[in-house]
Amino acid sequence: MTDGTSRPAGLTGVLLIQLGGPQSREQLKPFLYELFVDPEILGIPFAPLRKLAAWSIATLRAPKSAETYEKIGWSPIRCWTEKQASLLEKELGEDGSAGPVMVRAGMTCSAPFVEEALEEMRAAGVTRLFVLPLYPQYSVTTTRGSFARVTRALSEMRWTPERVDAPDAWYAEPQFLDAHAARIAEAASKLPDPDPARTVLLYSAHSLPVSTVEKKKDPYPKHVEGTCAALDERLGHRFRSRLGYQSKLGPVAWLGPSTNQVLAELAAEKVPQVLVCPVAFVSDHVETLYEIRMLFADEAKALGIPTYVAVDGLNDHPSFVSALADIVRKGLRAPASPAPPPGKPEPAHPAS
């Protein structure tokens, strides 16, 4: 039996890569360490110094971060990602176009780690590996690091499955946009005034240091803007929209305007209704459940905005699962990259 491209069908493994998050206080400090030890985050090339700095930051931030995570019942990102993996496996299995398939979630900063998922796939007999980071908009801090993590892991495992990587970015994937548009419509139905002229749709995305964007020519802000423009088109320009950036860390300059700043501007304009959509996240986690639903909601109230409604994360929305399935199907129809010889890692993905 073949998969339509004259290759043996075998067992295809689809690896969904996500950042991860702590599910308990015991997991918090290790999670923060893994987050900050990434060379793309701290920018310290000397590994021993970077590890020391990451551990110090994790130690200092843990008490305050624990308060935040406790307010949302700790991170649900593992649960959502594993559910997305299960639903995707079911959809691909029912379709049959990918042949026999298993889908697993692998995290870069918490369990189950990328390496654990790959070991499970190897043990199951996977012969073809499809790597799909769950970051619609490309960034060197997320997408590139995810591909590089798989490259290092495969080299250390001395495992050479046929490897196919998802596109670097899929910020305008049709069913990804459909899922966001459906979530926005659901939130809009809760507004007291149905008149779209009285509502502003505020897209909120995770920010990045300006230096990262400029020095590494990171296309992330352009991709975020592309998603917002495509969604405005999908929604028939029903709402006036704005874009803000959230989750700034440290004293350096970050992409702006901040979501808080945009809320202040909307309050000054006497906007009566604001919908806030987490446009760069694919599942609910601390940035959506705490920042958007709690912090920004309190800020909007303090600013005098009469109605503030948060849009739900994509989570298990059927259109989002179908978007992932479409990405996999299209990717598997493309020629695969030859696997590097054992012990010789292939180069990390370049920026788009």
CATH number of the domain that 198 lies in?
3.40.50.1400
pLDDT digits (tens, 9 = 90+) for 187-202: 999 999 999 999 999 9
Pair (180, 76) in one structural domain: no
Mean pLDDT, residues 82-99 taken together:
93
Boundaries of domain holding 328: 12-170+319-333
Q: Is residue 115 part of a domain?
A: yes
Q: Is 53 exposed, middle or buried (0-12, 13-18, 19+ CB in 10 A)?
A: middle
Q: Is residue 84 part of a domain?
A: yes
Pair (130, 196) in one structural domain: no
Pair (166, 178) in one structural domain: no
Least confident interval from 179-193, 198-212, 251-265, 330-344: 330-344
Q: Is residue 242 part of a domain?
A: yes
Which pLDDT band, with edges at 50, 70 and 90, does 17 fall under?
Answer: very high
Pair (192, 126) in one structural domain: no
Residue 36, pLDDT score: 86
Pair (128, 157) in one structural domain: yes
Residue 96, pLDDT score: 86
CA atoms within 13 A on the CB side of 347: 3
Pair (280, 240) in one structural domain: yes
Q: Is residue 39 part of a domain?
A: yes
Pair (224, 327) in one structural domain: no
Residue 120, pLDDT score: 98
Q: Quick one: CA dihedral 249, 254, 257, 261, positive or negative?
A: positive
Distances (CA, A) of 351 to 9, 69, 207, 221: 31, 32, 18, 13
Mean pLDDT, residues 102-126 taken together:
98
Pair (166, 109) in one structural domain: yes
Pair (178, 86) in one structural domain: no
Q: Quick one: CA dihedral 53, 281, 110, 70, positive or negative?
A: positive
Q: How many domains does the chain have?
A: 2
Which pLDDT band, with edges at 50, 70 and 90, does 79 fall under?
Answer: very high
What pTM value is reported for the model? Answer: 0.90
Pair (161, 23) in one structural domain: yes
Which pLDDT band, with edges at 50, 70 and 90, does 23 fall under?
Answer: very high
Residue 335, pLDDT score: 57
Pair (49, 197) in one structural domain: no
pLDDT digits (tens, 9 = 90+) for 30-74: 999 998 887 767 778 888 898 998 899 999 999 999 999 999 999
Mean pLDDT, residues 243-266 taken together:
92
